[in-house]
Structure 1
Amino acid sequence: METTSTLKITKRDNSKIADVDFNNLAFGSVFTDHMFSVEYVNGQWQQPEIVPYGPISMDPSAKVFHYGQAVFEGMKAFKDDQGDIFLFRPEDNWERINTSSARLAMPELPKEVFMEGLMELLKLDEAWIKAGDGNSLYIRPFHIATQPGVSASPSDRYKFMIILAPAQSYYSGEVSVVFAEKYSRAASGGVGYAKAAGNYAAQFYPTNLAKEEGYQQVIWTDANTHEYLEEAGTMNVFFRVGDKLLTAPTNDTILNGITRKSIIQLAEAAGITVEVRPVAVKEIVEAAQAGELKEIFGVGTAAVVVPFKSFAYKGEDHKLNAPENSYGVQFKKDLNDIQYNRTEDKYGWRVAVK
């Protein structure tokens, strides 16, 4: 047992890394040797600690199970060819989980607790971060209500944790999507902009219906009219019409994606016209019919960039054939080059783990 400032560290006796097949990883199913944890009790964050990864004990009446006070983040760590480790815009994740927490009446976590716990955890489990294109360590910070009791009120106790999972590609194969005509991801005035656990649970049923029809994901439409496109599955989405790039503005129904805003900056730096505005279903269907729709791709931490091969609307499939100068392919390469320390980082996004 050791401490770094206020952080207590208890190491696992023997690593389980030798039992892991890093060539055959199912995303988010294998976890590293350690995890970070800190409790919120009596209006204060307690001493943070890193302990061996394992089950946690909670009362069956803990409010997270009954009233859904749960938020999370998704991040990645990368290792370059020299063995150095880097994060990508980690302060953005800290800011966003606090935004999500505040929306669900949960206490915000101090920056120094988040960053120190994350850095020390990564250094402790650095052997799990593999170099090479496509390899990364997926980082899952999450925050849950732990107070026992089923009264319908905010919890007065919370637990914040970080767990780590070695990762390869999130999606494999070609992806077809369907535009939502009935179901919505989020409603105006709700919690769509927060990474609240319930947002994702609510997507599973309509996504399963889409899969039964042969589609891998749903592009969600607005709850009021179903006339405007918002997000793709669990990702932000971009549409390339001609040489212009279109994406919906962030608001209280759309997540402020870190990959999304990075791609907007990369596109603008490359001289590509980016229009951040409501994108109508009718506009995209007509662009596809006229041969002007060149690409649709989803973007997010886990997947980075996922090109869609087709979309369906009102029973009609529209095929997409990405041009040779695919924006999605180029943006993924540009982001990966920064993340893996293969090129200059002009934006200050890359943060070394030391």
Structure 2
Amino acid sequence: MAAFGSVFLPKMALATFDNNQWSKAELVPADSIQLHPGAHVLHYSSTCFEGLKAFRHADGSVHVFRMDQNVKRFAQSSELLALPTVDQEQLSQMIVDAVAEYTDEVPAPPGSLYIRPTHIGTEAAIGKAAAPSLSSMMYVLLSPVGDYFTGGVKALRLLLDETGMRCAPHMGMIKSGGNYASALGPTMKAKAELQADQILFCPNGDVQETGAANFLLIDGNEIITKALDSSFLHGVTRSSVLTLAADLGMTVSERDITVTELLERAAKPGVEAALSGTAAVLTSVGTFIHNGEDIKVGSGEPGPVVEKLRKALNDIQWGNAPDTHNWLTKIA
């Protein structure tokens, strides 16, 4: 089976910004863009993106999950990168039109259609290291994906890193490629040397996030995660899981948590930890690696509360439970 996110549908929605205005969006071949080698994005990383999914329900209908939140965050990322202002209505329509073109290609659960809106600075100007691109391109790529857990669900190993950071603190809430690039080297080193799946970045002992996911700790009836600030990504899956946890009667605590507290709680029976993100939804963490030592989280195995929360979210996405929060946009 092809690797997650490596298969693309033949067309994408595309619009360009030039002379202070957006062009009319069109569906074009997905491999058709042209860029000048001096394009701003290639030299100064003026780029952001989103990841969201469309799901097929048992009656054959297709629904996009929390499109409004992803479009809003995309517009915010563009603004913080000084890219041209995104027309949120236009982008929403581009997503709807692209998915509507390929409703037959949306896999049944546990598969989905992964949707990747992207915004890049296109102005050919290598003298603009300290100035924004005045032209840009916005497109929506589609990738049918299977189950993220093809080998079965397993608990992850996380290295607790108290010295490094995922990215520059003022860039954390921007979904930009450079943030992922900056976490890649340390993560590959941790995988090779310690068999870690991810690094949980905890600068000066402040528990933040991994290279590509938010972090949640579950202790009894309480779910704990760092309060939103500009240093880390405001995950849509994180938000959805916290809402569902509250629906299930759990106490939601959004606050700072230190490595010391994390390790104290991890030793308690029944404690669980998880990573949340669009691709994997919610994945259990079974081991922390700290100062060269493996520390088991609770039982060290995937936990029942994480499983319950993931199922609650999947049930809404897949149409098996009522969409009481109006998170789904019906396409067809």
TM-score range, shorter chain: over 0.9
Deviation at 1:25, TM superposition (A): 3.0
Whole-angstrom distance in 2 between the partners of 1:312 and 1:99:
35
The C-alpha deviation readout for 1:202-224, integer Å capped at 9, x for no partner, is 010010011012111111113xx
Any runs of at least 4 consecutive aligned residues in structure 1 with deviations exceeding 6 A, and if so which?
A: 322-325
What whole-Å deviation, never above 9, does each CA across 1:213-240 have from its counterpart, x for those lacking one?
Answer: 2111111113xx2x11101231111011
Q: 2:110 pairs with 112, 129, 134, which one?
A: 134
Residues 1:124 and 2:101 are matched in the alignment? yes
Change (3 A) 1:200 1:276: same
Contact 1:72 1:143 in 2 (8 A): yes
Is the aligned partner of 1:265 residue 2:233?
no
| SS state at 1:335 partner | helix
Contact 1:284 1:293 (C-alpha < 8 Å) held by counterparts = no
Structure 2: state its 5+ residue gaps: none
- When normalised by structure 2's length, the TM-score is 0.94
After TM superposition, the structure 1 stretch with the greater mean CA deviation from structure 2, 197-206 or 233-242, is: 233-242
The residue matched to 1:230 in structure 2 has which SS? coil
Q: Deviations over 1:115-163 (max 9, x none)?
A: 21111111111121011x3110000000000000201221111000110
**Which SS does the other structure have where 2:207 is aligned?**
strand
Any unmatched runs of 5+ in structure 1? 1-23
In the other structure, the counterpart of 1:198 is 178
Corresponding residue of 1:234: 212
* Other structure's SS at 1:109 match: coil
What amino acid sits opposite 2:29 in the alignment?
Answer: P
2:312 to 334, 339, 342: 334
The verdict on how the C-alpha distance between 1:179 and 1:112 changes in structure 2, with shifts beyond 3 A counting, is same
Tell me how many residue pairs correspond in the alignment.
325
Cα separation, partners in 2 of 1:160 and 1:64, compared to 1, 3 Å = same
Give the secondary-structure state (helix, strand or coil) at the position aligned to 1:279. Answer: coil
CA contact under 8 A between 2:166 and 2:210: conserved in structure 1? Answer: no
CA drift of 1:322 comes to 6.2
**Displacement of 1:324 after TM fit?**
9.0
Question: Does residue 78 of structure 1 match 2:55?
Answer: yes
Q: Which residue of 2 aligns with 1:177?
A: 158
Deviates more, 1:94-103 or 1:105-114: 105-114
Provide the C-alpha distance between the structure 2 equivalents of 1:149 and 1:52, rounded to a whole number of angstroms: 27
Cα–Cα, structure 1 residues 324 and 164, in superposed 2: closer, same or farther, change >3 Å?
A: closer
Q: 1:145 aligns with which of 121, 131, 136?
A: 121
Is 1:67 matched with 2:47? no
Cα distance, 1:51 vs structure 2:
1.1
Q: TM-score when scaled to structure 1?
A: 0.88
Q: Which amino acid aligns with 1:348?
A: N
User: Is 1:302 matched up with 2:279?
Assistant: yes
SS at match of 2:125: coil
